[in-house]
Structure 1
Amino acid sequence: MASRELEAFVRDQDPVDVAATDWHTRREQGLSAIEEAEFQSWRAAHPAHASAWAQVDESIRLLRSVPAERVAHLCTPRRGSPVNQPERPTQQGTDTPPTEQKQRPHNGPRRSPAPSARSWWPRGFGAGVAALCGVCTMAAGIAWYQWTQPTFASTYAAKQGQRLDVPLPDGSHLTLDADTRLEVSLYRSRREVRMAHGQAMFTVAPDTAKPFDVLAGPARVTVVGTRFAVRYMKDGADAGTVNVAVEDGRVRVADVTIDARDQSSPLHPHSVELSAGQGVQVSLSGQMSQVSSISPASVAPWRQGLVRFTNTPLSDAVHELERYHATRLVIRDPEVAALRIGGSYQIGRPDMFAGVLPQILPVRLVALADGNTEVVKAH
């Protein structure tokens, strides 16, 4: 049953019956002690709740006692006759109307009538076929809907200069760097994180029955249990590029735009497996770099309060440091902005970063009246 069809069907039902059916499917899937207490409280809150629960429980029990093919047959309306239309009266225990019985030729032995559809149901429930099938349909629809909905969902955001540690209900742990936003959804059969912007370290609790996916820009990172870092920035030196680095375990990195591009080129694989000490970049167009070797200890240096640059334009380096603290550095000259810088620097000491610039680049610092410092060419 499609989601819209289910919603339309449920709207036409008694809300108490819907609630009873919802509790029934949830209990079969397993309730926590707190949820079980909530159910008992709901059932005891009103006699109608207890009555609806008993009816749903008995209806589903009866439906399960009947062969599946008979349930499907009885729940399917006959041509020209809706399922909830009462059956026409019969004679002598047959399903044939009286007029048809009169026209039957008698030049041969009379055969025993075939058993009616009702004979498959327990005594006294023939008249409730439509109601029981409705309960069955609603239970199946609600169960399907619950299965496709997350059991846990939350959005997390770390602001400028902030770091956020997030323990998840499944035992996994996330550490968000500054200026990072992501959404976490845990389903019954999978776990999913959608990274809107930023970088984070993931320590994933092993669960082979529930893969853990991180979706960032053009990349999907899938794991079962491992520690890895993902960086996805929408601006700066590597804007639109997804960087994945594995500290422990194994992950699979896939290009989620694969269906939109030519899949025949062997130069750019569409998925790759990484182990500890390996990393890869996925470009905005979905193309993957060669797998690189890295030191596991160097993964996510921001956890140690460091930012690392490799041949990075000075303007982008300043922009990266601004994610943590205001540097109060101003660069107006495009040539100065394009100067390349490398090395590791302390995140919380922009003054130290500014002080080292004249030592490694052909620049000087000029104090401005507003308290900022301009980086200009050295003369």
Structure 2
Amino acid sequence: MPEQQQPDSESKPVKLTWRQMLFHFALLCICVVLGIFAWYLSRPQSIRFHETKTHEYLTVSVTPEIEISLDQSSLCAVTDYEPLRIEMFRGNVYFDIKKKQPEDFRIKVGETLIEDLGTRFSVRMQKDGTHIISVGQGQVKVHVATGTHLISALEQADFNDFNISKHRMISARDVAPWHSDQKVPY
């Protein structure tokens, strides 16, 4: 039969010094704080991308009150959480908002933020870095580096990340000439 081992009478119990105790406590606190950050601060990002190819058009109901129509070769991203955010990457997008949104609804084009105060407008991104906003109904606030500008119904303006230029009056047909509802037979 194997012999049972007797505890070594010369072995000493493990003693923790205050420094060791403080070090382990600090590690525990760091782990707890990181766990809390991971739990509360990291909500899952839910983003839908909408893209059209050449000679392709797309109309999407983002919410029951908001429809967006993408022209050919357009790309935008829409968040699924509140407040609703839309970011345009390329192409032309027509926004049809059936009623005023109570929450903070914004569209990002480059570094420019567009805040909806109206119901129908379009944004056209151009390759040279300038963009065109055309308002069919209501009003739109455009936040650029030089300040905030208000574009009203049947007005159009060119903008980039820094300023707005060529603010002019337009006809309803010029708001989104590519949009199916706007096309008028010749």
Task: State TM-score, norm by structure 1.
Answer: 0.37
- 1:215 equivalent in alignment to 2:112: no
Q: More helix per residue: 1 or 2?
A: 1
Q: Percent identity?
A: 21
Aligned-residue offset at 1:290: 4.3
The structure whose residues are more often strand, as a share, is 2
- Do the aligned residues in 1 keep the contact of 2:51 with 2:74 (CA within 8 Å)? yes
- Structure 1 residue identity aligned to 2:115: T
Q: Does 1:82 align with 2:6?
A: no
Q: C-alpha separation between the residues in 1 aligned to 2:185 and 2:163?
A: 30
Determine which structure has more spread, i.e. the larger CA radius of gyration: 1
Q: How does 1:185-196 map to 2 (within 5 A)?
A: 185-188=79-82, 190-196=83-89
**Structure 2: gaps of 5 or more residues:** 1-20
1:286-315 superposed Cα distances (whole Å, 9 cap, x missing partner): 2311432223343101124889xxxxxxxx
Q: Residue type of the partner of 1:275?
A: S
- CA–CA separation in structure 2 for the residues paired with 1:241 and 1:84: 52
Matched residue, 1:6: none
Q: 1:327-346, aligned counterparts within 5 Å? A: none
- Secondary structure of 1:82's aligned partner: helix
CA apart distance, 1:226: 2.2
> CA offsets per residue over residues 316-357 of structure 1, 9 Å max, x none?
xxxxxxxxxxxxxxxxxxxxxxxxxxxx998xxxxxxxxxxx
Compared with structure 1, are the counterparts of its residues 231 and 345 closer, same or farther at alpha carbon in structure 2 (3 Å cutoff)? farther
Residue number among 289, 296, 306 corresponding to 2:165 in the alignment: 289
Which of 262, 285, 302 lines up with 2:178 in the alignment? Answer: 302
CA distance in 2, matches of 1:244, 1:185: 22
Pairing 1:5-84 to 2, within 5 Å after superposition: 80=22, 82=25
Task: Name the SS for the 2:95 alignment partner.
Answer: strand
Residue 296 and residue 194 in structure 1: after superposition, are their counterparts in 2 closer, same or farther (change >3 A)?
A: same
Deviation track 1:104-141 (CA, whole Å, cap 9, x = no partner) reads xxxxxxxxxxxxxxxxxxxxxxxxxx9xxx5x984664
- Check the 8 A contact 2:134/2:174 in 1, yes or no: no
Paired residue for 2:41?
A: 144
For residue 207 of structure 1, report the CA deviation from its aligned partner: 2.5
> Is the Cα contact below 8 Å between 1:212 and 1:224 reproduced in 2?
no
Match of 1:274 in 2: 151
**Counterpart-to-counterpart distance in 2, 1:84 and 1:304:** 62
Match of 1:253 in 2: 142
Give secondary structure in 2 for the equivalent of 1:303. coil
- The answer to whether the 8 Å contact 1:192/1:214 transfers is yes
Q: CA RMSD in A?
A: 3.3
TM-superposed CA distance for 1:273, in Å, is: 1.2
- Post-superposition Cα deviations, 1:22-55, rounded to whole Å, max 9, x if no partner, equal xxxxxxxxxxxxxxxxxxxxxxxxxxxxxxxxxx
8 Å CA contact 1:248, 1:296 repeated in 2: no
Aligned equivalents of 1:193, 1:230: Cα separation in 2:
12
